[in-house]
Amino acid sequence: MKLEKTEFHIGMRNLKTALAILVCLLIYQVIPGSASYACITALIVMQSTLEESIQQARNRVLGIVIGGIVGAVFSYFVGMIGFSILQILVISVGVTLLILLCNLIGKRGAIVMGCVTYLVIMLPEVHQNPWLYSLLCVIHNMIGITVAVLVNLAIRPPKKQEPQPQIETDVQPEHESSPNDTVEMGETDAENTGSERRS
């Protein structure tokens, strides 16, 4: 059994993703905070074309905003509940409502990011103000989105070549003989043969 040889190739999207993450890491050497959200966002938003990157950025921003608002509201109500079983039920109901909300407004692409943001707020390792945490999530993700879109804008792939139109030829298709023509030709040949015999 022969194994097919795989060609070692580093694609343009690979290089642009690494560059975007590098820029995010450098930014967080200057500003306070964790670079994890910005790097993950840059990784997700970076697509093969600028148009796809912008679409991913819109879905991610919308998901963060919706998930942050729903998470902050449900976090307030969960804090008022003393029973852990009820808290678990409320968190699960919040996921259902969030998915329903995204479907109602026609933004299914924001569901995953909205649920991730919601769960991060509802299940924090360190308890803090949910509204402040939501705002920080938006800021960190916006940094990653901005970096990814700018990198994709600066290093945009070439446009796809449009297919060339087919050249029409003036050659007419040959006339195909129909069964009627064949019958008429046979009758003519028979008449000619009969005439020759009579003569």
Show contacts of 62-65: CB within 8 Å, 24+ apart. 62/107, 62/110, 62/113, 62/114, 63/102, 63/107, 63/109, 63/110, 63/111, 63/112, 63/113, 63/114, 63/115, 63/116, 63/117, 64/113, 64/114, 64/117, 64/134, 64/137, 64/138, 64/141, 65/138
The pTM (predicted TM-score) of the whole model is: 0.64
Q: Where does the pLDDT of residue 183 fall: very low under 50, low under 70, confident under 90, or very high at 90 and above?
A: very low
Q: Where does the pLDDT of residue 5 fall: very low under 50, low under 70, confident under 90, or very high at 90 and above?
A: low
Tell me if 72 sits within 8 A of 130, measured CB to CB. yes
pLDDT tens for each residue of 47-92: 877 788 888 888 888 988 898 888 888 888 777 776 678 888 888 9
What token pair was written down for 72? 């902050």
Q: What is the mean pLDDT of the chain?
A: 77
Q: What pLDDT is stored for residue 33 in this prediction?
A: 83
Length reported for the chain: 199
pLDDT tens for each residue of 29-51: 999 888 888 998 888 888 877 78
